Amino acid sequence: MSKISIRRKGRKILILCLPAAVILGGGYTIYRSLGEEQETAASSNYKEETVRRGSVSAGINESGTIAYGTTEQVFSMAEVTEVSVSSSDSSSETSGNSSFAQGEADNQTDSILEASSSGTTGSSISIQGEAGGQTDAMSGDSFSAAGAGMEMSSSPGTDSSESGEATSLEVEEVYVAAGQTVNEGDPILKITDESIADYREEMENAVASAKLLVSKEEINVESKKAEADYTYQMYLAEGETAEETYNATIKTLEENVADLEEEIAETDDEDELEELEAELKIAKNNLTTGTIEAQQIYENAMTNYKYADQLYQIDTDGLEDDLNDARETLEECEENLVEFESQIGDGIVYAEYSGSVMGVSYTEGDTITNDAAIVTYMNQDDVSMTVSVSQDDISNVAVGDAPTVYLTAYEGEPFEATITEVATSSNSGSSTVSYDVTARITGDSSKIYSGMTGEVNIAGKSEEDTLYISNQAVHMDGTRSFVKVLKEDGSIVETDIETGFSNGNIVAVLSGLEEGDTVLIESQVTE
C-alpha cells in the first residue's frame, strides 16, 4: 500500500473520531460542572424562617435561662373531730343567783327563833349582801336530775381515743416517680384498706360521742331551767310574805322577852330568879340581833322580789350555749364522715394536674400528713426567665412591663412576656451592682423547655406593625442588603431588601419581602 493511501486512510479515521471526542469532552465538562454545583449545594445547610409582622423593640438586653415554676398537689382529707364526754361525781350545779335556799317564809322565822333559843347571834342564817349575789345555801338534792352536773366538752384537735394516738392513713403503693410525665386523673398512690377502715371507725365514733354530748347537754339545760324557775317562784313567794315574816319574827322575839319578864316578876325563888334573869339577858340580846337579821332578810327578799324577772333572765341567759356548741360539733362530725366517704373513694389518690413530676413526698409504708404536698409538678403555666439588670438601667424597669424573650433555640422568634418581679436588693458577690428581674412568658410556652438560654429584651425604642426577620438572614454586599428566598418550587432566589430598625436579634424589613415569605439562614459546613 502506498504512503498516500495510508495518509488518506488516517485522515479519514481522524475525521470520524473527532466528533466523538468533542462529544465526550463536552460531556465530561458538563458532568464536572454539575458535580461542582452539587457539591456546593451539599456543603450548605439552611434554616427556614417566615417573614412576620409585628413590633421590633430595642432597649435593655440581658441573658438568662428558662425556669419552670412548680405546682404542689396537697393531700386534704376530712379530719376527725375529737369529742370528749365525761361525768363528774358532784351533785347538780345550783342556780347562780339565789340568795338563800329556804323556800318558805316560815323557815326564815324558825331559823331566827332557833338562834334565839340556842343563845347564838344568828350566824346560821344566810344573808345576801347585794341583789343578784351567788347562792349561799342551796339544797343540792332538791334539783337532782339525771345528767345534771355532767362535765361535757367538745375539743376539735384533741385526741379522745383510748390509746391517745390519732388514727392515720398509710401508703400501700406509689405509682409515679420524679421525671415521669402524668396526665390529670392518673393514679398517684394507694392507701391501705386497713388504715382507711380504722380512720372510718374513728370518725363514726366521733359522731356517736357527739350525739351523747348533745343528749347530756339537753338534760343539763332542762335541769338548770328547773332550778332557775324554782328560784324565781321562791323570790316571788318570799317577797309577797316578807313583811308578814318580818313582823312574826319580831313579835316572837318580843314575846320571849315579855314571858321571861313576867316569870321573873312572879317568882320568889332566888335560884330560879337568877336563872330567869340570865335567860332574859340572852332573850333581849337575841331581840336586838334578831331584829337586825330579820330586817336584812326582809330587805333581801324585797330586792329579789323586785328584780325576780331580771334575776331569772341572768340565770337562764346563755344556758343553751353549751348545747348549741354540742349540736354544732355533732353536725361537724356528721359532715366530716360524709366528706371522708366521698374523698376516700377506692383508696387511690389521683393526679390533679398534667405535667412532669418533679418529686413525690411519700414511699410505701409512710403515714400521710393531712394538708401536706404529696406530688410536686412542673408548672407549664409558670415559665419565666430571670436576668440581671445593671443599676444604670434598673430605673427603666417596672413590674407590669411587657418585654420580649428571644431564645437561642428559636432564633429570631419572639415570645411575649411580662415583668412579674423586680428585686429591691442587689445581687451579692457581683463586681457590678445589678438587680434580678423576672420575666414570665405569657404566650404559648408548649415548646419551651427548662434550661433553655436566651435574652430578655425590655423595650426602649420600638417600631410597630412592621415586617421583620432574623438578623442572621440578612447578607451584606457593600451597601447592598439581600436575603435568600425559598420559592414554592424549591428554588432559591437572592432578593434585595431595605432594612430598618434592629434590636440585635431581629431587623425591620421596609421593602423587598411580603409577610409569609420564607427566607433562609445559611451556614457553611466544611470538612
The model's pLDDT over 194-222, given as tens digits with 9 standing for 90+, comes to 999 999 999 999 999 999 999 999 999 99
Domain assignment present for 505? yes
Domain boundary among 319, 337, 355: 337
> Are 321 and 211 contained in the same domain?
yes
> Are 7 and 65 contained in the same domain?
no
> Are 163 and 286 contained in the same domain?
yes
Examine the pLDDT at 47 and tell me if it is beyond 90.
no
Share of the chain above pLDDT 90, in %: 44
> Are 479 and 502 contained in the same domain?
yes
Residue 359 pairs with which residues in a beta bridge?
376
CB–CB of 483/513 below 8 Å? yes
CB atoms within 10 A of CB 408: 10
Return the pLDDT at 430: 64
Cα–Cα distances (Å) from 395 to 58, 81, 215, 423, in that order, read 16, 54, 69, 12
> Are 307 and 246 contained in the same domain?
yes
Examine the pLDDT at 161 and tell me if it is beyond 70.
no
Average the pLDDT over each of 48-52, 404-408, 460-464, 487-491 and give the range with the smallest value.
Answer: 460-464
In angstroms, the CA 501 to CA 471 distance is 11
Examine the pLDDT at 448 and tell me if it is beyond 70.
yes
The residue assigned the cell 475525521 is 15
> Are 16 and 124 contained in the same domain?
no
> Are 58 and 166 contained in the same domain?
no
> Are 327 and 408 contained in the same domain?
no
Domain that holds residue 129: 77-337
DSSP 178: T
Domain assignment present for 367? no
> Are 135 and 281 contained in the same domain?
yes
Domain assignment present for 354? no
In angstroms, the CA 455 to CA 57 distance is 13
> Are 140 and 238 contained in the same domain?
yes
Return the pLDDT at 335: 94
Extract the C-alpha cell encoding 364.
410505701
Q: What's the number of domains the chain is made of? A: 3
| Upper half-sphere CA count for residue 254 (Cβ side, 13 Å) | 7
Q: What is the CA angle 205-210-216, rounded to 5?
A: 130
> Are 460 and 504 contained in the same domain?
yes
- Band (pLDDT 50/70/90 cuts) for residue 172 is very high
Mean pLDDT of the chain: 78
Supply the pTM of this predicted model. Answer: 0.50
Average the pLDDT over each of 20-34, 220-234, 466-480 and give the range with the smallest value.
Answer: 20-34
DSSP 415: E
Model confidence pLDDT, tens digit, residues 332-373: 999 999 999 999 999 999 999 988 898 999 999 999 988 899
| Displacement of CA 125 from its chain's centroid (Å) | 61
Q: What is the CATH number of the domain that holds 405?
A: 2.40.30.170
Share of the chain above pLDDT 70, in %: 74
CB–CB of 505/406 below 8 Å? yes
Return the pLDDT at 153: 41
- Band (pLDDT 50/70/90 cuts) for residue 60 is confident
Domain assignment present for 363? no
Examine the pLDDT at 329 and tell me if it is beyond 90.
yes
Domain assignment present for 368? no
Domain assignment present for 358? no
Domain assignment present for 387? yes
Cα–Cα distances (Å) from 132 to 96, 223, 295, 307, 446, in that order, read 8, 20, 18, 8, 76
Average the pLDDT over each of 86-100, 253-267, 410-424 and give the range with the smallest value.
Answer: 86-100
> Are 111 and 170 contained in the same domain?
yes
Domain assignment present for 14? yes
The residue among 249 and 159 whose pLDDT is bigger is 249
Examine the pLDDT at 298 and tell me if it is beyond 80.
yes
